[in-house]
Chains A and B, each alone.
Chain A
């Protein structure tokens, strides 16, 4: 059983992708059926995984039956299990959303197989216990994302897709370099093994600070941290809405997960330098994201800059590396994956319905789509962290941790950013749903039941998650435990050594 379960989140999407490739490009309907069934299966499987991990602790399988520090291990702890669950839910919503939005031309163009390959890579990056294997899974989902960002071949997609390709290839190369440094310093690639070796090492480990800087460059580029977020607003702006939702909700979060994992396991020696650097960048990211979110009047841009704010808040929580900070970060990470997808899908619905993404040209939609409007308001509250919703718990823990550690200014910036988030989304809400009515005859006569289904599904899941947050606390505590107490993660090696 433990041999099969950790494999499934990687294997199911790959098999589905191969079947979809085999079906060929003519039968779009069959593609839709297979893709949505796979996504549903993924949700069920990941719920089983969360249950299993909650019941029996970390699940480990050694691929190819090689012993743990030498072969590749897949390690599913609670953090990975929760992230896989959130990924599956988002995938299901986006796949259903795509039926009516992406258009048959792109669907025929191997859109669903690429999504499946990308999900498999993302799940692999979450579940792997080997740093080089993480690189390989990064490449798998990046390759699929390159195809997704350029599929359809419009001019803006090709132009921004090329830049996206270039930036990511550059940072992937530096990932290899960081792994090379790490391997020469430690002589191992298994993350738990590296942690055990470094924890037992009492000499001068200052080389690890160099590795920390190179790794930060790599993952900050993928996650969109302060100096390296320059590519993100342009590239995420280009592809169609479902792809954008998938990228915005998931791809940056993989970078955040990698930062959390690597900084908790490897860089335990000189935390005064490495984690301080991380927090500084996180705060700057929040500031820059806030400026962008206020500056633009394009709905897509506003939501994209909101990604940056969320990334900054999560990284600020992770950089504290104490119990409250990491619990807050895991809460906010899961919350942000779900609600960011929901927000993208809602905004996408407005854009598809009106054919316009500039909020100054819209108004009075409340008369036509009242439910959508209130859903948008709820998601704004969820993002900003209004009490019964899950964003509140995340921010509460993170800010408590920041104040406890004496970072008062950072805590205040995190709190103020909530206001900016609320203001930027409320600006969409007010000028699109209230105000002077736009010309309702210009609305596109599209069928939109599935668009609304997916976006409402995400908001409802978010609200349910908020009310269940108290009951789910043990899960998040055990997820955060492998960050603030990394020996609980690397403990699976003890039986071997």
Chain B
């Protein structure tokens, strides 16, 4: 099971690298989103995948799932959410101000007047 998830994470990271190497701003942002998903899968797998109860104190449950990767996962999801949202806002402003979504055009120091 772990091997399967790790391979899946690899596929996701590969797809994200492909997306991030493209020229469009939107694809790059999607790429960062998918990259974080792949890495989150890795994080979850590193804690060990097993069936277990909710990691909240309960006398009837004997085997608990490892709560730490789940807590970290949630934190990273929240942070990624905020980052992606802010990146989208910046991308739209880049598009409006600089008039392009092609990364090739974002070189050098742009003139302020035009």
Counting CB contacts under 8 A, is A173 at the interface? Answer: yes
Q: Is the CB of B72 within 8 A of A155?
A: no
CB contact list, A173-213 vs B, under 8 A: 173-174, 176-177, 179-181, 183-184, 189
Q: Report the bound CA distance from A158 to B39 in whole Å.
A: 28
Cβ contacts under 8 Å, B69 to chain A? 180, 183
Q: Is the CB of A156 within 8 A of B109?
A: yes
Cβ contacts under 8 Å, A146 to chain B? 86, 90
Q: Is the CB of B90 within 8 A of A165?
A: yes
Counting CB contacts under 8 A, is B79 at the interface? Answer: yes
Q: Report the bound CA distance from A181 to B9 in whole Å.
A: 14
Q: Is the CB of A162 within 8 A of B25?
A: yes
A218 to chain B, nearest CB (A): 12
Q: Report the bound CA distance from A165 to B72 in whole Å.
A: 22
Closest to B109 in A: A156
Closest to A234 in B: B109
Counting CB contacts under 8 A, is B63 at the interface? Answer: no
CB contact list, B24-67 vs A, under 8 A: 25, 28, 32, 35-36, 39-40, 42-43, 45-48
Closest to B93 in A: A158
Q: Report the bound CA distance from A169 to B20 in whole Å.
A: 12
Cβ contacts under 8 Å, A150 to chain B? 90, 93
Counting CB contacts under 8 A, is A170 at the interface? Answer: yes
Counting CB contacts under 8 A, is B5 at the interface? Answer: no
Q: Report the bound CA distance from A19 to B7 in whole Å.
A: 47
Q: Is the CB of B46 within 8 A of A181?
A: yes
Counting CB contacts under 8 A, is B104 at the interface? Answer: no
Closest to A174 in B: B39
Cβ contacts under 8 Å, A396 to chain B? none
Q: Give the size category of A's interface with B.
A: 20 to 34
B83 to chain A, nearest CB (A): 6
A210 to chain B, nearest CB (A): 13
Q: Is the CB of B98 within 8 A of A173?
A: no
Given contacts A154-B112, A165-B90, contact A179 B79 (CB under 8 A): no
B68 to chain A, nearest CB (A): 7
Q: Is the CB of A153 within 8 A of B93?
A: yes
Closest to B100 in A: A159
Selected contact of B94 from candidates A162, A184, A189, CB within 8 Å: A162
Q: Report the bound CA distance from A166 to B83 in whole Å.
A: 10
Closest to A183 in B: B46
Cβ contacts under 8 Å, B15 to chain A? none
Q: Is the CB of B112 within 8 A of A169?
A: no
Cβ contacts under 8 Å, B35 to chain A? 170, 173
Cβ contacts under 8 Å, B79 to chain A? 136, 139, 143, 172
How does the 8 Å CB contact mask read for A140-151 relative to B, with 1 for contact and 0 for none? 000100110010
Q: Is the CB of B42 within 8 A of A180?
A: yes
Counting CB contacts under 8 A, is B106 at the interface? Answer: yes
B34 to chain A, nearest CB (A): 10
Cβ contacts under 8 Å, B93 to chain A? 150, 153, 158
Q: Is the CB of B106 within 8 A of A159?
A: yes
A162-B25, A169-B32 provided; 6 other pairs, C-beta below 8 A?
Answer: A146-B86, A153-B97, A156-B112, A162-B94, A179-B72, A183-B69
Give chain B's interface residues, CB within 8 Å of chain A: 20, 25, 28, 32, 35-36, 39-40, 42-43, 45-48, 68-69, 72, 75-76, 79, 82-83, 86-87, 90-91, 93-94, 97-98, 106, 109-112
12 residue pairs of the A-B complex, CB under 8 angstroms, read A139-B83, A146-B90, A155-B98, A155-B112, A158-B98, A162-B106, A169-B87, A173-B39, A174-B39, A180-B42, A180-B69, A183-B68
